[in-house]
Amino acid sequence: MTVVSDLPSATVVLDGEIDIATAPAIRRLLMAAISGGDAHLAVDMSGVSFIGAAGIGVLVAAANRAREAGGSLSLLAPSPQVRWLLDVFHLDAILPAAQRPVGPFVAGSAA
């Protein structure tokens, strides 16, 4: 996990599996970024090979916290498996995909 911060935005790079074992650490990382002033988060999912219900729960909780802080959370390059889960659970509005930023990050932009 990596965080690149440029207040009030940050890009969080996740990789590997997001499951019951890794979700608590990811939750702490995302919530700390939001509490630290990074209200607009882009979560780079390009290296995520698996995401379970615990991982989806963490992303939804972080998106809600970011919105409460006046910000947003978007997913960068979600894998086909992640996109499928978002579609199945109708979470596209809560966890929108964003284009990989070329310049300054714009949360919530269409993929």
Identify whether the C-beta of residue 107 lies closer than 8 Å to the C-beta of residue 73: yes
Burial (CB count within 10 angstroms: exposed 0-12, middle 13-18, buried 19+), residue 45: buried
Residue 99, Cβ neighbours under 10 Å: how many?
14
Residue 72 token pair:
């947003």
pTM: 0.81
Residue 20 lies in a domain: yes
3-state secondary structure (DSSP) of residue 70: coil
Query: Within the chain, which residues score under 50 in pLDDT?
Result: 102-111
What's the pLDDT at 37?
77
Per residue in 56-85, pLDDT tens? Answer: 999 999 999 999 999 999 999 988 888 888
Residue 107 lies in a domain: no
CATH number at residue 32: 3.30.750.24
Total number of domains in the chain: 1
Residue 104 lies in a domain: no
